[in-house]
Structure formats: structure tokens, C-alpha cells
Structure 1
Amino acid sequence: MELNGKLADAFNDQITLELQASTVYRQLAIEMDVLSLPGIAGWFRAQAAEELEHAEKFATHMTDRGAHPTIGDITAPALSVSSVSAAFEASLGHEKKVSESIRDLYRLAHNEGDIDSVPLLNWFIEEQVEEEATVGGILDRVKMINNDGNGLLRLDGELSAR
């Protein structure tokens, strides 16, 4: 089944959102580099790369179904964080935005009767549950640390293993 109309437009919007998410994560990596936390910065860089893969999954799905993927205007929010907690709060907020967008795509696919998109969207729904849980768990740990230097350095070391 060819992908077109409202759903193709929504997939293009999602591609742009995934690329925007990558940019957000790149900026958060820079912010952690500024705070001399290379492990956390590396974790954010890995997240940025993963968001690029997500955009590619949508683009591939579209081309496989005869649609033309396009990238819209990418506007990353201005981010300047002064703490690890603020960085992960920004991360979680953006993941929630992406999750809701995926759920909207799922609803639209069902409304349009496009069952061919459902397997892809199911994968993304599961991925977003995992992403929010991961970021939320890290944020909980950051809050427990409460800017304790030893705790931050330990977390930095743990996240560098990603």
C-alpha cells in the first residue's frame, strides 16, 4: 500500500522531530562537556546518534512505500543547562514530546486504515517507553546525588560505558 496524504505528511513531520531530537541531544552533550563530564556527554552523543537512526527508519519506511521523505525546518530549542539534573530534565521533556508524537501517528494510522505502518509504530511505541524509563531512572539517580561531586563522577563513569 502506498503511503500518501495526511499520514505521509505526519511521517515527514516525525522525521523532522527525530532530527530535532538529535540536535537537542548534541547540545546537551556539549553542555556536559562544558561541565567536564565526558561520560555523560558521551551518553548524550549516543542518544543523538540513535535519534538519527530513528529518522532513517521513518524515511526508509516511506521510500519502501512509494512516498517521498522530506526534512522540514529544524529548530532546536535554545538549551543552556548549568546542571546534570537540568540536562536530564530537558532530555525527559523532549522524550515525552516524541512519545506523544508517535502515539499521534499511531492514532492517525488507525484512523486512515493504514495497517502497514502499525508494525513500525509498535516498535517506536516500545522504544519510547524504554527511552522515557531510562532517562527517568537516570534523572531519579541524579536527584539522589544532589550535585555531590563523588556521585556525579560515579554516574559519569557508569554512563560512559554506553
Structure 2
Amino acid sequence: MELKGKLADAFNDQITLELAASTVYRQLAIEMDVLSLPGVAGWFRAQAAEELVHAEKFITHMTDRGAHPAIGDISAPALRVSTVDGAFQASLDHEKKVSESIRDLYRLAHNEGDIDSVPLLNWFIEEQVEEEATVGEILDRVKMINNDGNGLLRLDSELAARQV
């Protein structure tokens, strides 16, 4: 079934949002580099790379279904954070925005009777639950540390273990 109309437009919007998410995460990595936390910065760089993979999944789905993917306008985020908890709060806020966008796509696919999009969207719904849980857990741990230097360095070391 060809992907077209409102759903194709919404998928293009999602591609743009995923690419914007990558930019948000890259900026958060820069902010953590400025704070001399290379492990946290690396975690955010890995997250930025993952968002590119997410955009690619939508692009592939569209081209496989005869649609024409198009990237919309992406502006650089005006994100400036000076704390680790500020960075992870910004991350969680952005993940919630992406999650709601995925839910909107799911609702639209059902309203349009486009069952071919459902497997992809189910994958993304599960992915977003995981993303929010992961970032939420890290944020909870950062709050427990309460800017303690030893705790931040330990967390930095743990997050450095994440592979791209």
C-alpha cells in the first residue's frame, strides 16, 4: 500500500523531529564537554547517533512504500545547561515530546486505516517507553547525587561505557 496524504506528511514531520532530536542531543553533549564530563558527553553523542537511526527507519519505511521522504526545517537548539540534572531534564522533556508525536502518528495511522505502518509505530512506541525510562532513571540518580563530585565522576564513568 502506497503511503500518501496526511500520513506521509506526518511521517516527514517525524523525520524532521528525529533529526532535530539528534541536534538536541549533540548540543547536550557539547554542554557536558564544557563541564569536563566526557562520559556523560559520550552518552549524549551516542543518543544523537541513535536519533539518526530513528530518522532512517522512517525514511526507509516511506521509500519502501513509494512515498517521498523530505526533511523539513531544523533549527539549532538554543539549549544551554550548566548542570548534569539540567541536561537530563532537557533530555527527558524532549523524549516526552517525541513520544507524543509517535502516539499521534499511531492514532493517525489507525484513523487512516493504514495497517502497514502499525509494526513500525509499535516498535517506536516500545522504544520511546524505554527511552523515557532510561533517561528518567539517570535523572533520578543525578538528583540523588545532588552535585556531589565523587558521585558525578562515578556516574560519568558508568555512562562512558555506553556503546554507539
The TM tier, using the shorter chain, reads over 0.9
**Corresponding position of 1:75:** 75
Equivalent-residue separation in structure 1 for 2:26 and 2:51 (angstroms): 10
**Over residues 26-52 of structure 1, what are the superposed CA-to-partner deviations in whole Å (9 max), with x where a residue is unaligned?**
000000000000000000000000000
Percent identical residues = 90
Q: Tell me the SS of whatever aligns to 2:48.
A: helix
**Over residues 62-99 of structure 1, what are the superposed CA-to-partner deviations in whole Å (9 max), with x where a residue is unaligned?**
00000000000002330000000000000000000000
Q: Tell me the SS of whatever aligns to 1:147.
A: coil
Confirm or deny: 8 A CA contact 2:14 2:101 kept in the other structure: yes
Residues 83-102 of structure 1 aligned to structure 2 (within 5 Å): 83-102=83-102
Confirm or deny: 8 A CA contact 2:27 2:77 kept in the other structure: no
Q: Tell me the SS of whatever aligns to 1:123.
A: helix
Q: Tell me the SS of whatever aligns to 1:8.
A: helix
Confirm or deny: 8 A CA contact 2:42 2:160 kept in the other structure: yes
**Over residues 107-143 of structure 1, what are the superposed CA-to-partner deviations in whole Å (9 max), with x where a residue is unaligned?**
0000000000000000000000000000000000000
Equivalent-residue separation in structure 2 for 1:30 and 1:111 (angstroms): 41
Q: Which runs of 5+ in 2 are unaligned?
A: none
Q: Which runs of 5+ in 1 are unaligned?
A: none
Q: CA RMSD in A?
A: 0.4
Q: How many residues align?
A: 162
TM-score (norm 1): 0.99
Divergent runs of 4+, >2 A: none
